[in-house]
Amino acid sequence: MRVLAAMSGGVDSAVAAARAVEAGHEVVGVHLALSRAGGTLRAGSRGCCTIEDSMDARRVSDKLGIPFYVWDFSERFREDVIDDFIDEYRAGRTPNPCMRCNEKIKFAALLERAIELGFDAVCTGHYATLIEGERGLELHRSSEEAKDQSYVLGVLTAEQLAHCMFPLGETPQKALVRAEAERRGLAVASKPDSYDICFIPDGDTRGWLAEKVGEEQGEIVDRSGAVVGSHEGAHAFTVGQRRGLKLGVPAPDGKPRFVLEVRPVSNQVVVGPKEALAVAELAGSRYTWAGAAPLDPEAAFACDAQVRAHGEPVPATARVEAGELVVELRDPLTGVAPGQTAVLYDGTRVIGQCTIDRTVSAVPVAA
């Protein structure tokens, strides 16, 4: 097969590309330039897809003896990931830019161009597995739970999965990947993993958003609507936050209060007791199926729901109703916010996902 290896400059994508070459595929390496800032450099393990990373990816490609290219996806990245991130915060939601990048850039824009150029598949260093099931190709968790990345791939559709290759899915430990990179003589063997939001490499998300969104003073209210404090910008608050509220009116029971909701239209932040963070139901109209959809999506089906990349899945039932994927949680989850992604599983198999538009608290307002 003709395989396009997406090479981030890290050890995972490097070993994935090496395995694709070793399997006999015709492999071409490509690095995605997601920023036009010429001086952008990686800060230790913060950020990714920088000039330094592209140079590392080129060195790996040279070592593997494969052609290498850098594709400028900075405009698409700005529109589909950065602008979306800003818009979501303006709307009072908490987005996951890595999910959007996988959906819009790595497995949409990249895959579209790869197919146009005659490639059969895109190879990445994600830890997930593909299994041929009775109703077609299925996306499953990797063999290593701690590293499993099927959650961030939950946005992939059946058509996209048909052109994906995840060579690391069966590798039980990240240490084995680093050891393999060392044996292969790849200079990225000991390179630290990237973390944090790649376009905010200094980690100051609040400061970055203040610059992009602006600050406007507003009210902090309790669940009854009573004003208990003020804020300088609603974008600085996320559901579940406790610190930095600076409330002028203490709770009647003297217990700490947490952010329950951000209301961008009224520029209000709603706070309440920790118990009120428990969510019994969530729903979203932006949903997709990873492979074959349930036979009858409108009939409630059992599943496990996961709302964070490293979160624990909880038993749930889901159904499509009035254009939404509605998920009822058997065990309430805390700190779930609109804008996050809920990925549904059947055992190790990814069923689908939705971007959360609304949640229903397990604790009534009167409680």
- Tokens standing for residue 75: 């405009």
- β strands within the chain, DSSP E: 2-6, 26-33, 68-72, 121-123, 128-133, 136-141, 164-165, 218-221, 227-231, 258-263, 268-272, 278-284, 286-289, 301-306, 314-321, 324-334, 341-346, 349-355, 358-361
Query: Which one-letter amino acid corresponds to residue 303?
Result: C
Query: Which one-letter amino acid corresponds to residue 1?
Result: M
Q: Which of 101, 164, 303, 354 is catalytic?
A: 101
Give the number of other CB atoms < 10 A from CB of residue 255. 11
Asked whether 288 and 157 are in contact (CB, 8 A), the reply is: yes
The Cα 330–Cα 300 span in angstroms is 13
Place of tokens 């209000």: 268
Q: Which of 48, 123, 198, 354 is catalytic?
A: 198
3-state SS of 247-270 is CCCCCCCCCCCEEEEEECCCCEEE
User: Please, which residues have CB within 8 angstroms of residue 225's CB and are 6 or more apart in sequence?
Assistant: none
Active site annotation includes 164 = no
CA distances from 122 to 100, 118, 255, 294 (A): 18, 11, 52, 26
Active site annotation includes 101 = yes
Give which of 357, 324, 352, 356 is closest to 150, Cα–Cα: 352
User: DSSP assignment of 221-232, as one string?
Assistant: E-TTS-EEEEES
Asked whether 360 and 354 are in contact (CB, 8 A), the reply is: no
Residues belonging to the active site: 101, 198
